[in-house]
Amino acid sequence: MQVTSKLKKTAKFFEPPLFAFLYLINYMKKISLFFLLALHLALTSKASSLETKLSPQGSDKYNFLIKGDAKTSEKKLRDVFQNKVNEVCGTRFEIISITTYQINKEGVKNNVLDGSFKCFVNSQM
């Protein structure tokens, strides 16, 4: 009986620190998950920053300017241009010109695509 009573006293002695330790571990997990989520949001918000401007140039002609950041590739700019042309004209269009260049903004080179296109209506084909 003395052995079991000593074990009970020892177990009672170690219970509060054990629960406090487990609580601390759980709290640290939550903090680290929150930190990783915040880091992920910060990185993905800067991943794709495109500035676009669609300007009508007369009857069925448009100019489309896309400004990307240093991470934006020329292929990505061309894909955005193609998607916008398809959105505006559907499948009946003519791309008049596409030029890509870089501008120096605050010491960082940003990629730019400037393109123009013409939409066709049924009577023009």
Q: CA nearest 94: which of 114, 115, 118, 123?
A: 118
**Lookup: tokens for 117:** 């296109």
Identify which has the larger pLDDT, 24 or 80. 80
pTM, 2 dp: 0.58
Q: Report which residue type is found at 62.
A: Y
Q: CA nearest 55: which of 25, 31, 82, 88?
A: 88
- pLDDT tens per residue across span 65-115: 999 887 888 999 999 999 999 998 988 899 999 999 988 877 888 899 999
Task: State how far the Cα of 63 lies from the Cα of 30, in Å rounded to an integer.
Answer: 49
Instruction: Identify the band that residue 38 occupies on the pLDDT scale cut at 50, 70 and 90.
Output: confident
Range 51-124: architecture per CATH: 2-Layer Sandwich (3.30)
Q: For the chain, which residues make up each domain, given as ranges?
A: 1-45, 51-124
